Homo-oligomer: A and B are copies of this chain.
Amino acid sequence: MSRSERLLDLIQRLRRHRRPVSGQVLADELGISIRTLYRDIATLQGQGAPIEGEAGLGYVLKPGFMLPPLMFSDEEIEAIVLGSRWVAKQPDQRLSAAAANALAKIAAVLPDDLREDLDASTLLVGPPAHAIEGIDLGTVRQAIRNERKLGFLYRDAGGAASQRVVWPFALGFFDKVRVVVAWCEMRQDFRHFRADRISGLNAIDARYPRRRQVLLKEWRATLDKPRGS
């Protein structure tokens, strides 16, 4: 195996393990000496890979991911660009900025003529969704990722307001509204909350007692019963 292949292989292996892995283990897996592994790690770090090594522990790949060389057809690139453009117009500031950054990174490596086409935007996305939400959706996404509780004041369709503590596990992007899907401690049931009716959002520094994935699956099951498909 050539050195360059091995370097990619090394990154992939680091991805799989999320806990720290010792250099010795990696070296064995790759069939190289520990010394060479250290050199490989140094090379990858030199190329910007976010690998952290700690004495006594091992190596971890920090969040943030390097996509290896990928082949996309031009329609696939168009699809990705159009999609990112749509996300960039969403009212979620952090996500929107992330989409714009991703677009910039992709554009930077496209061939000139295709980039021009994309800059010129033959594929347009509708007007930005109304940024009427007073809350920071980034907080919601973070709570979802970390399985943390959220507290807020909710004003329902009838206008009645109530203070809620919920376990959020999904965020829906619909035509005009963003919807937080969560288990509601008050109702002891799944509920969805329109983002524009939420106020006084605060992240609670307490993990909720169930796995996000499980909640999601159960919620899906409840959806399948009343409606077909």
Question: Residues of A at under 8 Å CB distance from B?
Answer: 3-4, 7, 12, 15-16, 18, 47-48, 50, 61, 63-80, 82-88, 94-96, 98-99, 101-102, 105-106, 109-114, 116-117, 120-127, 141, 144-145, 169-176, 181, 212-213, 216-217
In the complex, which of the residues B82, B116, B117, B127 contacts A83, with contact meaning CB atoms closer than 8 Å? B82
For the complex of A and B, 10 pairs with smallest distance between CB atoms: A83-B83, A126-B174, A79-B99, A75-B98, A4-B4, A76-B102, A15-B111, A124-B172, A83-B87, A79-B98
Q: Give CA–CA (A171, B121) in the complex, Å.
A: 9
With a 10 A CB-CB cut-off, give which of A65, A144, A212 has the most chain B CB atoms: A65
Residues of B near A114 (CB, < 8 A) are 65
Q: Can you give 19 contacting A-B residue pairs, CB < 8 Å?
A: A64-B73, A65-B77, A66-B69, A67-B106, A70-B105, A70-B109, A75-B94, A76-B99, A82-B83, A83-B85, A83-B87, A116-B213, A122-B170, A124-B172, A124-B173, A124-B181, A125-B173, A126-B173, A126-B175
Chain B nearest CB, measured from A70 CB (Å): 5
CA distance A20 to B188 in the complex (A): 66
B contact residues around A102 at 8 Å (CB):
72, 76-77, 79-80
Cα(A73)–Cα(B47), bound, Å? 16
- Per the bound structure, the CA–CA distance linking A99 and B83 in Å amounts to 8
CA distance in complex: A106, B47 (Å): 21
Looking at A63, A69, A76, A116, the one whose CB has the most chain B CB atoms below 10 A away is A76
